Amino acid sequence: MTTSFPQGIRAALIDMDGVLYDSMPHHARAWHQMMSEQGISTDPDEFFLYEGMTGAATINLIFNRELHRDATEQEKHDLYARKAEIFTHSGKKEPMPGADRMLAALMRAGITRVLVTGSAQPSLLNALDSDYPEAFPADKRITALDVTHGKPDPEPYLKGMEKAGVTPAQAIVIENAPLGVRAGKASGAFTIAVTTGPIPREEFVKEGADMIFPSMDAFADWLESALPAAGEALTETSLPPLARLLDEAVAKLNPATVTLLTDRNVQRDVLPLFNGSKVLATAGTVVIEPGEDHKNLDSVVAIWNALEKAGATRHSVIVNIGGGLVTDIGGFAGATFKRGIKVINIPTTLLGAVDAATGGKTGINFNGLKNEIGSFHLPAEVIISALPLGTLSRRELLSGYAEMVKTGFIADRNLYTALLHVDEVTEDVERLERAMKRCVEIKEDVVRQDPTEKGLRKILNFGHTAGHAFESLAIERHQPLAHGEAVAHGMLVELILSHMLEDFPSEEISRYASAVLKPHYPRISVTCDDIPLLIELMAHDKKNAVAGRPNFTLLKNVGEPEIDRLPEIKDIEAALEIYRDMF
């Protein structure tokens, strides 16, 4: 995936729904309601997949699937009219955040804009002039009324090129739907996908998108740096926020050399947000493969070799851009090379932001055990931004969310209570960011008081003794769990132990299990035969002060942690049996 704007581009062919307007949820509900009125069963989310098709084609697709026949021309006309009526009365469709900046960057660069939409909704088309003045002249619009074959056929984009007077090599397509990406690629244009809906990014990869951005804001950030106005030099103030923050952080350290560590997925999905960074333009780069299988000594050796090749000294810096795997392994390499060099962490996952990147714990897996070898090495700087979080799958987001819930359990009842409303928090960016920042504040305060885990910092281990055991068991079964998924289950086991040994309220255990764990985290199958192995794995946990004796952080109540608890083996067995009955 390129990180620079393609050369020779004279026109941008731009979709409307989901790119210019946050209108797809309205379309999906309108389609679903109209079909329900006909007694036809549909899933509202499926209509995100059909975005770009003409209304007639969408109706025919559903009729063939559910009624096993084509819709008549009269049915297509009447049903689409009803859908349009529902859509028109479904409330205001807000412009997509970042779309105005995208258009402004294209206009400053003198690039022709052509609207190419599978829609024929007058309510949106009529709003374009007021919402995006001068962005789309009347003769630079292709709608469903102008084509015979809608997306995924390339006809709409080929006609858009005719309107702009350009060849495919001179055009880019900006889309938010897989079928639209397929149409763009079939037209021969450089095709950019922006994942503003619920469709996983993997679907856009399958369609061959040339670049993929997590939001219109992220795309606009990149575009403003990659495409300055004609004759205008790229300045520090025009840099994307992450590029500017990174350059400022490195400049303060004045390092001898800079080495970037990232993984393959982050390189593809997130590094475009750093376009224009002077640091990354000259830094040596190490790209490791994603996944726990690569959190090993071989990866550390690759980093050491790159540092050696770059002539790194004790005054050099490693910049770790990625999730917990990258910051853990990059921090460990930094802690051990030349007996310690400076590290800058830029977490790209929620889990990394609230856990791995901020505490100075580093490590690698060894002999199937999680973080068995590691060190404490506080980063020189941690740059926290919500921009990369748009790349996360629901599963990855929930993995980080479990660490946030843990933080509420150990330190802040109000935070914990707020986080019980999982869907409401994860679907509201502002609420999520507030909770994330509170978690980081709590962790930084704990780490400041106890940087090497001699006392207070052990409260951060709540859920992890049992969680790491679940994680190691899953690796042995070749069915890996995300770290946060394992911790979510580990917290239930340790809440049960807390009730048994510390009188933790049983109603809070039920509340956590019913509101958080059961609805949002995958079940772990644990048999009676697994219990001795789980206890053995807990006994190997690196936090144990006494070899072979599992050490737990337990709770007397929410916000009242108790460290260095050493339950009897029979108590751990009982807690695991209760866990099996509950989940």
Contact 241, 411 (CB under 8 A): no
Q: How far is CA 510 from CA 214, 423, 506, 569, 578, in A?
A: 36, 18, 7, 24, 12
Per-residue confidence (pLDDT) for residue 232, from 0 to 100: 47
Domain 393-582: CATH architecture, name and number where available: Up-down Bundle (1.20)
The larger pLDDT score, comparing residue 52 to residue 545, is at: 52
% of the chain residues with pLDDT over 70: 95
User: Which residue, 105, 135, 133, 347, is CA-closest to 238?
Assistant: 105
Distance separating alpha carbons of residues 384 and 429, to the nearest angstrom: 14
pTM, entire model: 0.57
- Measured in whole angstroms, the distance separating CA 78 from the mean position of its chain's CA atoms is 41
Task: Give the confidence band of 568 by pLDDT, cuts at 50, 70, 90.
Answer: very high
- Sign of the Cα pseudo-torsion (178, 199, 20, 112, in order): negative
Asked if the peptide bond before residue 240 counts as cis, ω within 30 degrees of 0, the response is: no
DSSP labels, 104-122: HHHHHTT-EEEEE-S---H
- Look up residue 211 and give its amino acid: M
* Helix, strand or coil, per DSSP, at residue 529: coil
Report which DSSP code applies to 479: -
- pLDDT on residue 246: 94
Look at residue 544 and tell me whether its pLDDT is greater than 70. no
pLDDT at position 56, please? 87
Q: Which two tokens stand for residue 302?
A: 């690759």
Q: What are phi and psi of 476, to 5 degrees?
A: -60, -35
Work out the average pLDDT over 410-422: 96
Enumerate the domain spans of the chain. 11-21+94-226, 24-88, 239-390, 393-582
Q: Rounded to whole angstroms, how far apart are CA atoms 406 and 410? A: 6
**Once rounded to an integer, what is the mean pLDDT over residues 230-258?**
76
Nearest Cα neighbor of 417 from 400, 435, 397, 399 is 435
- 242 pLDDT band (50/70/90 cuts)? confident
Tokens of 40: 């036809």
Overall fold of domain 239-390: Rossmann fold (3.40.50)
**Dihedrals φ, ψ of 376, to 5°?**
-95, 125
What fold, for 24-88?
A: DNA polymerase; domain 1 (1.10.150)
* Closest of 289, 286, 283 to residue 317, by C-alpha: 283
- For residue 339, the Cα-to-chain-centroid distance in whole angstroms is 34
Q: Which numeric CATH code is attached to 11-21+94-226? A: 3.40.50.1000
Q: Which two tokens stand for residue 453?
A: 């885990």
- Assign 155 to helix, strand or coil: helix
**pLDDT band for position 530 (cuts 50, 70, 90):** very high
CA–CA separation, 286 and 294 (whole Å) = 13
**What proportions of the chain, in percent to the nearest 5, are helix, strand and coil?**
55, 15, 35
Buried b (16+ CB within 10 A) or exposed e, 378-413: bbbbbbbebbbbbbbeeebbbbbbbbbbbbbbbbbe
For 426, half-sphere exposure in the C-beta direction (CA atoms, 13 angstrom radius) is 22
Q: Are strands 369-376 and 361-366 parallel, antiparallel or unpaired?
A: antiparallel
pLDDT at site 420: 97
Q: How far does the chain reach from its first CA to its final CA, in angstroms?
A: 43
pLDDT over threshold 90, residue 499: yes
Pick from 298, 262, 296: which is nearest to 364 by CA?
Answer: 296
CB-count burial class (<10 Å; 0-12, 13-18, 19+) for 472:
buried
Domains 239-390 and 393-582 share a fold: no
Three-class SS state of 341: coil
Question: CA dist 430 to 393, 436, 437, Å?
Answer: 18, 10, 11
Backbone dihedral angles phi then psi of residue 300, each to the nearest 5 degrees: -65, -45
**DSSP helix/strand/coil, 527:** coil
Q: In the beta sheet, which residues pair with residue 542? A: none
Average pLDDT over residues 361-376: 88
pLDDT at 532 over 90: yes
What average pLDDT does the segment 407-433 reach? 91
- 488 close to 521: Cβ distance less than 8 angstroms: yes
The per-residue pLDDT of the chain, averaged, comes to 88
pLDDT of res. 511: 97
pLDDT score recorded for residue 134? 85
**Between 477 and 74, the higher pLDDT residue:** 74
Per-residue H/E/C for 355-367: HHCCCCEEEEEEC
Provide the pLDDT confidence category of residue 234 given band limits of 50, 70 and 90: very low
Helix, strand or coil, per DSSP, at residue 558? coil
3-state SS, residue 171: strand
How confident is residue 311, by pLDDT bands cut at 50, 70 and 90?
very high
Which tokens go with 55? 């209304």
Residue 215's closest CA among 385, 91, 50, 28? 385
- How far is it, in rounded angstroms, from Cα 491 to Cα 384? 26
Which pLDDT does position 1 carry in this prediction?
37
For 257-302, write each residue's pLDDT tens digit. Answer: 999 999 988 887 788 778 778 898 889 999 999 988 899 999 999 9
Write down the pLDDT at residue 239. 62
Q: What is the pLDDT of residue 543?
A: 65
Q: Any idea which of 307-311, 382-386, 470-474, 570-574 has the lowest mean pLDDT? A: 382-386
List beta partners, residue 557: 560
Q: Position of tokens 């001068």?
A: 134
pLDDT at 390 over 60: yes
Question: Which range (114-128, 362-376, 553-567) has the least confidence?
Answer: 114-128
Is 80 exceeded by the pLDDT of residue 457? yes
CB 379 within 8 A of CB 344: yes
Q: Which residues on adjacent β-strands are paired with residue 345?
A: 320, 382
Average pLDDT over residues 461-483: 90
Mean per-residue pLDDT for 443-463? 90
pLDDT at 291: 86
Task: Report residue 306's pLDDT band, with 50, 70 and 90 as the boundaries.
Answer: very high
